[in-house]
Structure 1
Amino acid sequence: MAKKKKADKGVGNIRGVADLEEARSWIKARGIEEIECVVPDQAGVARGKIMPASKFFTNPLMALPSAIFQQTISGEYPEDEVITRQNPSDNDIVLEPDFSTLSVVPWASDPTAQIIHDSYHQDGRPVDIAPRQVLRRILELYEHKGLKPVLAPEIEFYLVKPNTDPDYPLEPPIGRSGRPEIGRQSYSIQAVNEFDDLFEDIYDFSEAQGLEIDTLIHEEGAAQMEINLRHGDPLVLADQVFLFKRTIREAALKHNIYATFMAKPIANEPGSAMHIHQSVVDAKTGKNIFSEDDGRPTPEFFSFIAGQQKYLPRVMGIMAPYVNSYRRMTRASTAPINVAWGYDNRTTGLRVPPSTPDSRRVENRVPSSDANPYLVIAASLACGYLGLREGLSATEPIDGSAQELDFDLPRGLLEAIALFEESDALVEIFGETFVGTYSAIKRAEFETFMRVISPWEREYLLLNV
């Protein structure tokens, strides 16, 4: 499904400007009437306000309650001492636009733009629990060492029939043939073509926002797709994943289809992942620090892998943030169950793809697609950073199937959160405030889940116990 680049109709760059005055010209050139001022919360959900463009330019700073970063996925707030101590009065925070993220909202009925905001306290301090700021904090650790991470994400998702009753299982949608998918259709062009009109809209919506899709493929599950993004700056790529998720959902709704990034939406189908390809370059020279001049891997390459091996289990609450996320990771599935690594080995949690020395990288296959892109990228890079800082040594690579090895990733959300809180190194670099807040949110979400009685319980316990 190759797409040609469309001209920008003589109105300048498609995405991003430098400052308020350039934004004013950009908005005027496109006849924009409204601006969506958005900020990603802990779940990666877009929060914010919609305002007339004229009002935005009167005062581009926006205030919202600080509690937006303490909200669970069900809209509740944890009753936790950490939360209360941080925010006893639920005061406002200031949201400041990042003009480099300005773009159109191509599915809006009226000419509309969107811009991602950063969060600050009223005294000017960054809000240290805001996901965008969490990622910046980790990137600064690399910057202080003269290093710059480079990454490329891959995001899997399912297309499903509209489902308005949560008691009913999800089903594949009907494509242009009039029939739902059956069986496995990995890499099938024909299966993708079943939804050509939808993917044309995804490409058009993405192009209008300046989002660059590298490839689109059909994954293993029924109507399961994967979009790969081009490699680049971690913060820019996190913004793109944040916007892509919204774009894909909106395009699907236009065709009376749901797009879901749940980790395990359908019982007998594979789960959905967010794989992250990672390398690190010297900030001055741009040279990949994972490769020697003669092309051999460097000690830093193996230390980065070792950091992922040691710390990925301890950030699993970020990599797999919901109870449903852990349903994806079973021995019988294609998802990893441990942090073994190998060369071009898709059964391991850490895969080293075939590449030239300049593009040597580590693919983290652990995260699920329901993860917040800012937090999951921050967590993955934090693990590699700690490996570099501590000079860790990786295990030997695995040649065969790692699915036969023991689990060394947590099997559930509460176990994962406990490991996160107990890691002094992670608390140090993420900050006590973020670790405490995030953990409180996840525990509150688990308690909400525990109030729901599942079909399995009614099936096997109702008359048997």
Structure 2
Amino acid sequence: MSDWLTKIPQSARNYIEGRRLDEVECIVPDMAGVARGKAMPASKFARQESFYLPNSIFLQTITGEWADNPAGAFTEPDMILAPDFSTVSAAPWTADVTLQVIHDVFDQQGRPVPVAPRNVLKHIVGLYAERGWRPIVAPEMEFFLVARNIDPNQPIQPPMGRSGRRAAAKQAYSMSAVDEYGKVIDDIYDFAEAQGFEIDGILQEGGAGQVEINLAHGDPVRLADEIFFFKRLIREAALRHDCFATFMAKPIEGEPGSAMHIHHSVVDAQTGRNIFSDEKGRETPEFLQFIAGMQNHLPAAVALLAPYVNSYRRYVPDFAAPINLEWGRDNRTTGLRVPISGPDGRRVENRLAGMDCNPYLGIAASLATGYLGLVQGANPRAECLGDAYMSEDELPTNLGDALDEMVASQPMREVLGSEFVAVYEAVKRNEYKEFLQVISPWEREHLLLNV
């Protein structure tokens, strides 16, 4: 691999130009979207023939515990890591000159490990490719900047702005609100530029200290890689300015939650034409079939879009989170929104995913539902022309029910892979069981002396 620097993106070359490269971080996204792996001197990386990690990294829960292996014995065989040099990017917050590279994972027979989240997304994209289609996505990332919280027993507070006052809520789209923590935003821009990422826009959302970053549309795997990298760079930018960045779905009581809205379109792989529009610019049957697939199969995908107990605190009425499967044109109360666009840009926005989801799995699950609709040829319900917030609840309201829906759905098990579904369920059941053993302040306040 002595010539590996010739294979990396131009942005990474620009970052190390004229400087001595000290370290390379070899990383793999785990089930939660956390970066696992190892760092090594750049000289060793160039000499290394193979890289290894145990397959148990995909059985680790968000608390650091280990779920039981559904396949049986917990022997932790090594997986073979293969660097994807197209993902090489700077780590500009480190003291030394460092590059990071995402690795794909294979078993010892050279087969893609089916439970690896990046492989799951690649598999879904491959299903589209087999039909001559190429899916396109554009994600939106919402997150909160919050005051440092080193005691988990204390509620999370908004950050202190440059005015000396805490960030205020209900300031959506306010430029002054963004300026309150402008130094963090500046570092986010600088880090993103060093890493070669294109930000489509940054705006203030409705929560106190809540920010939204939009990314340009493109290939699902590349965009998931960028969100994976963005979460880390945003956290690092916040830490430089004495605050935290959090991607929890609902970090502050009484404030709206953070979503990862995903815009979807599908193009013909041969012609590049958006299959949601015909030659005259009209909506096609495929457009409606994609929506129908989402309506029919999203309940079985919620466990991937809302992967933690906290995720379901976002699914409450009157907090700007659509908790329905209605669809509508330019209607932000619907779970499935069709934004205003020309024929080439016709797309469907899934507004159900939380920002706490693993981007690979969230995008994979969302694309899987649309794919099933295209293959099954179903038709959606009538368009919702009013306030969809008034619709009946159709989604699971807790993690346990969401896992039940996922496991019970044969179509979702087939497209995602039965081995992946089994491992994902094992990890999430373990996390849910741990949570149920924790006694909350609400229980102590209202039950201790009253029941």
- 2:290 is aligned to 304
Offset at 1:18? Answer: 13
Q: 2:4 aligns with which of 17, 20, 24?
A: 20
Percent identity between matched residues is 55
- 1:456 is aligned to 442
- 2:412 is aligned to 426
Amino acid of the residue matched to residue 95 of structure 2? S
- Provide the secondary structure at the position in 2 that maps to 1:150: strand
- Provide the secondary structure at the position in 1 that maps to 2:364: helix
- 2:348 is aligned to 362
Q: Unaligned regions of 5+ residues in structure 1, if any?
A: 1-16
Residues 1:209 and 2:195 aligned together: yes
Residues 1:54 and 2:38 aligned together: no
TM-score, with structure 1 as normaliser: 0.94
- Provide the secondary structure at the position in 2 that maps to 1:110: coil
Runs of 4 or more consecutive aligned structure 1 residues displaced over 2 Å after TM superposition:
17-21, 23-30
- Against the structure 1 CA distance between its residues 21 and 301, is the aligned structure 2 distance closer, same or farther, given a 3 Å change threshold? same
Amino acid of the residue matched to residue 389 of structure 2? Q
Distance 1:193 1:31 in 2: 36
- 1:79 is aligned to 68
Q: Contact (CA 8 Å) 1:315, 1:420: kept in 2 or not? A: yes
Give CA deviations for 1:143-198 in whole Å, capped at 9, x if unaligned: 00000001100010001000000000000111110101234100000000111111
- 1:219 is aligned to 205
Residues 1:294 and 2:280 aligned together: yes
Q: Unaligned regions of 5+ residues in structure 2, if any?
A: none
Distance 2:413 2:446 in 1: 42
Residues 1:268 and 2:257 aligned together: no
Amino acid of the residue matched to residue 346 of structure 2? R
- Provide the secondary structure at the position in 2 that maps to 1:75: coil
Counterparts in 2 of 1:277-356, with a 5 A limit?
277-356=263-342
TM-score, with structure 2 as normaliser: 0.97
Q: Contact (CA 8 Å) 1:19, 1:99: kept in 2 or not? A: no
- Provide the secondary structure at the position in 1 that maps to 2:134: strand
Amino acid of the residue matched to residue 20 of structure 1? W
Offset at 1:21? Answer: 5.3
Offset at 1:103? Answer: 1.2
Q: Contact (CA 8 Å) 1:302, 1:393: kept in 2 or not? A: yes
Offset at 1:22? Answer: 1.1
- Against the structure 1 CA distance between its residues 29 and 99, is the aligned structure 2 distance closer, same or farther, given a 3 Å change threshold? farther
Counterparts in 2 of 1:175-190, with a 5 A limit?
175-190=161-176
Offset at 1:29? Answer: 5.2
Give CA deviations for 1:112-144 in whole Å, capped at 9, x if unaligned: 110000001111111110000000000000000
Give CA deviations for 1:387-420 in whole Å, capped at 9, x if unaligned: 0000010111111111111000110101001111
Distance 1:45 1:182 in 2: 30
Offset at 1:20? Answer: 2.3
Greater mean deviation of Cα atoms: 296-305 or 88-97: 88-97
- 2:430 is aligned to 444
Q: 1:247 aligns with which of 233, 256, 260?
A: 233
- 1:66 is aligned to 55
Q: Contact (CA 8 Å) 2:169, 2:209: kept in 1 or not? A: no
Q: 1:123 aligns with which of 109, 116, 133?
A: 109
- 2:81 is aligned to 95
- Provide the secondary structure at the position in 1 that maps to 2:153: coil
Distance 1:183 1:37 in 2: 39
Distance 1:419 1:339 in 2: 15
- 2:389 is aligned to 403
Distance 1:254 1:156 in 2: 20
Q: 1:173 aligns with which of 148, 156, 159?
A: 159
- Provide the secondary structure at the position in 2 that maps to 1:151: strand
Distance 1:394 1:29 in 2: 57
Give CA deviations for 1:355-383 in whole Å, capped at 9, x if unaligned: 00110000000000000000000000000
Q: Contact (CA 8 Å) 2:197, 2:226: kept in 1 or not? A: yes
* Alpha-carbon RMSD: 1.5
Amino acid of the residue matched to residue 172 of structure 1? P
- 1:8 is aligned to none
- Provide the secondary structure at the position in 1 that maps to 2:37: strand
Give CA deviations for 1:417-460 in whole Å, capped at 9, x if unaligned: 11111111111111111000000111000011011110100010
Q: Contact (CA 8 Å) 2:265, 2:348: kept in 1 or not? A: yes
- 1:41 is aligned to 30
Residues 1:373 and 2:359 aligned together: yes
Q: Contact (CA 8 Å) 2:144, 2:211: kept in 1 or not? A: yes
Give CA deviations for 1:291-348 in whole Å, capped at 9, x if unaligned: 0111110000000000000111111000000000000011222101111000011111
Offset at 1:19? Answer: 7.0
